[in-house]
Structure 1
Amino acid sequence: MGKLVVTEFVSLDGVIEDPGGAEGFEHGGWSFKNPAPDGDAFKFEELMAADAQLLGRKTYEAFAAAWPEMTDEAGFADKMNSMPKYVVSTTLTEATWNNTTVIADNVAEEVAKVKAAHDGDILIAGSSVLIDTLREHDLIDEYRLMVHPVVLGTGKRLFNNSAADLELVESRNVGPNVLLQTYRPAAKTEE
């Protein structure tokens, strides 16, 4: 069974919106203020080891607009473009990015099927609304958060409308001022 992994660039105040600056958010591009060379290496290894991606519609549309035209010698773009992708949307009727399946209904049930269909990691980036839904259904297995030392004050946050009890399983520097923190859902106790 695949492992559903939320992988995000996140500010100290929990904002995940537009870390790369391509979406027009007033604070967009904030992740570039603090270079993280070991973080870049981690992101490369993480993608290369993953089986699939699961995305909300807005993140999917941003990725689908950019990645098909990208190339690089390391193979990152080839992996992004060739791997299976699943987009959760009630409004998207057709996927334009190759190897994409649209999930329109029964999100929790369909995502459970995606997990069963893969053996490795299924990465979720961006997609805050989808993450809330998956968290509510206990479908997320791990959070990998690259925490940047910026406070933005506004923007889409990782934790919006649902609560989570998490256990820290790893924390390490991936840049002079950037931490990679890995969390898993805390074991539930019987009352």
Structure 2
Amino acid sequence: MSRIVVSEFITVDGGIDSPGGEPGFDRAGWAFQFSRGPEGDKFKLDEVQKADALLLGRKTYDGFAAVWPTVKDEAGFAEKMNSMPKYVLSSTLTGPTWANTTVLGSVDEIAKLRESGDDELLVNGSGQLVRALGERGLVDEYRLMVFPTVLGGGEKLFGETSTAAKLKLVDSQVVGTDGVIVLTYQAL
């Protein structure tokens, strides 16, 4: 069975997207005001290098697809992002232009994809998708890079749910010089 790993930039008050602005990088710009240091950069690089595919919601996909194909870097992060398989949950996307993209029409299709594989599917951003996956018990691990700020509004990672989820903290580390903390939880 494939593992679904959610990786999020998140604020102390649970925000993942600031109010206003456009979806994608603009609305998470608050995260780039803090130093996550070389160890935080290495964490994100290792995470992407280990992943077999990306699983994204439509808004995050659109933001990523507009940026990543033009990015060049020495570490190989962009090369991996652009070459790996990508699955996007959307009922309206047709003819995706970002290389290696497959459109999935429902969370049921994601559940079937998870059951049929043995790889790691990495979810970045995609708050609505993450909440739907969590509601269905499809998330195996949460990697939360917590930034020392409070947005006071905007989209939250977790909302109301019909089922409680129990998590086990398996790793924590402070990265950078600004008090950014990476928390890794396994779903039980």
Q: How does 1:149-164 map to 2 (within 5 A)?
A: 149-162=148-161, 163-164=164-165
Aligned position for 1:145: 144
Deviation per CA, 1:124-168: give whole Å up to 9, x if none: 011111111111111000000000110110111110232433221
TM-fit CA distance, 1:170: 1.2
Counterparts of 2:91 and 2:170 in 1: how far apart (Å)? 35
In the TM superposition, what are the counterparts of 1:58-97 in structure 2 within 5 Å?
58-97=59-98
Provide the rounded CA distance (Å) in 2 between the counterparts of 1:151 and 1:137: 28
Secondary structure at the residue paired with 2:16? coil
**Change in 2 beyond 3 A, CA 1:45/1:24:** closer
Query: Counterpart of 1:41 in 2: which secondary structure?
Result: helix
Return the offset for 1:116.
3.6
Shift of the 60–71 alpha-carbon distance from structure 1 to 2, 3 Å rule, reads same
Counterpart in the other structure of 2:44:
43
Report if aligned partners of 1:168, 1:182 keep a CA contact under 8 Å in 2: yes
CA contact (8 A) 1:56 1:130 kept: yes
Moved over 6 A (4+): none
Instruction: Using the TM superposition, give the Cα deviation of residue 23 of structure 1 relative to its aligned residue in structure 2, in angstroms.
Output: 4.5
Between the two proteins, the alignment pairs up a number of residues equal to: 180
Matched AA of 1:119 = D
The alignment yields a C-alpha RMSD, in angstroms, of: 1.7
Change (3 A) 1:47 1:74: same
CA contact (8 A) 1:128 1:160 kept: no
TM-score, with length taken from structure 2: 0.89
Query: Aligned residue for 1:104?
Result: 105
Asked if 2 retains the 8 angstrom alpha-carbon contact of 1:7 and 1:143, the reply is yes
Q: d(CA) in 2 for partners of 1:52 and 1:152?
A: 30
